[in-house]
Amino acid sequence: MKRKLRMGMVGGGNDAFIGAVHRIAAFMDGKIELVCGAFSIDPQISKQSGEDLFVAPERVYLNYEEMIEKESLLPEGERMDFVTIVTPNFLHFAPAKLALEKGFDVVVEKPMTVSVEEAKELQETVERTGRTLCLTHTYSGYPMVKQAKAMVKEGHFGKIRKIVVEYPQGWLSRLTEREGNAGAAWRADPKRSGKSLVMGDIGTHAAHLAEYVSGLKIQELCADLTTFVEGRLLDDDGSVLLRFENGAKGVLMASQISAGEENAVRIRIYGEKGGLEWANEDPNNLIIKMLDQPRQLYRTGNAYAAPYTLSSFATHNTRVPAGHPEGLLESFANIYRNFAATVTAKREGQIPTAEQQDFPTVYDGVRGMAFIDTVVKNNEGTEKWTKFVL
């Protein structure tokens, strides 16, 4: 395929937050172009957004149903190749399902759906149609996160014993949803957000990061959810004890009332021989702590000599020479670049490389929904540990 992949968007209009980040990420490597959209719940805003983005007026649609239907009737040489879905949580499933059924690939925001049942239905649809679904767990796109994963996998730290993952934010420390903040309003509304505010919004990122870097699956958990802000309809803070499949133990903290915090995602993993630490607010550094050795600092973009050579997964996802900061936008772009390479390879009848296939998929989406369900079930029930059931 000697052309760019053609992208359509559901959501992401001038009234949205993350849609613009998706466009920056999608366009960064010159492999993707925007051709159509149903950009907003408000047709006027959708129209204006399309104009601002130089999308042909006849391809700015009133709603996602019209977009997917009309695009599917266009000639192969014109129609969109995939849909990016960046709507509130309750509006991920229906457009994703329809797009897959009509032959389009999908990029969808997390949490993938608002229930395990919907998530499993999307999994079945992906498997039946053979299409590709990419879930944007942003933090898994960083080169030093990939380096951490590679070092755990090659046994650098020995058997993993302890995983500590945190995602504190402070922006919901007040009743922000009643202060005219549309993003906070739908997030705090159980009908549009799902069963848990804090776990749906940021806890799934933390759970995914823990499983991604450690390569281990959560098996059971014990959770404590709290609504600190009076008048709020959903939880805004959570602490979860985790048990992983190899006997490793974990602690997950996700909180939106950690006053003063920004997006302080951090993960620490400890094995028999040593551990690692990575933080979103300092993403080009990976700290390695080995027993009886001075600390080491791995940095993005270096051509270290053996045995310190950076993994092919880290270098594949690095764009600029060492010392030039790469951040969230590049991490997001890595997810898009790998997704686009995989879609293109599949369409050409080729098998994508392991590096190209390294992005979150429908299976991560199902685990994310099962994580939310298990946390809520355990928090509401009386049993100490609840099995993570898929």
Residues that bind ligand NAD (CB under 6 A): 10-13, 15-19, 38, 40-41, 63-64, 86-89, 91, 109-110, 136, 138, 182-183, 186, 201
- Give CA–CA dist 316/313, Å, rounded: 5
Helix 116-129 to helix 93-101 angle, to the nearest 10 degrees?
10
Which of 126, 70, 98, 94 is closest to 362 using CA atoms? Answer: 126
> With b meaning 16 or more CB within 10 Å and e meaning fewer, what string describes 323-333?
eeebebebbbb
CB 379 within 8 A of CB 224: yes
Q: Which residue, 10 or 99, has its beta carbon nearer to ligand NAD?
A: 10
Q: Which of 62, 37, 63 is nearest to 50 (CA)?
A: 37
**Residue 63 or 173: which CB sits closer to ligand NAD?**
63
Q: Which is nearer to ligand NAD, 156 or 183 (CB)?
A: 183
Q: Which residue is nearest to ligand NAD (CB)?
A: 11
- How far is the C-alpha of 383 from the C-alpha of 46, rounded, in Å? 48
Contact 310, 294 (CB under 8 A): no
Among residues 205, 202, 300, the alpha carbon closest in space to that of 255 is found at: 202
For the CB of residue 119, give the shortest distance to ligand NAD in the complex, in Å. 14
What is the nearest approach in angstroms of ligand NAD to the Cβ of residue 16? Answer: 3
At its nearest, how many Å lie between ligand NAD and the CB of residue 129?
Answer: 22
Nearest distance from residue 186's CB to ligand NAD, in Å?
A: 6
Q: Which is nearer to ligand NAD, 37 or 274 (CB)?
A: 37
Q: Which is nearer to ligand NAD, 49 or 147 (CB)?
A: 49
Comparing CB distances to ligand NAD, the nearer of 202 and 248 is 202
| 82, 7 contact by CB (below 8 A) | yes
Alpha-carbon distances of 18 from 86, 241, 328, 329, 330, rounded to whole Å: 7, 30, 12, 11, 14
To ligand NAD, the closest distance from the beta carbon of 314 in angstroms equals 21
The distance of closest approach from Cβ of residue 164 to ligand NAD in the complex, given in angstroms and rounded to an integer, is 21
CB 324, min distance to ligand NAD, A: 23
DSSP string, 70-98: HHHHS-TTTS-SEEEEES-GGGSHHHHHH
Nearest residue (CB) to ligand NAD, 183 versus 289: 183
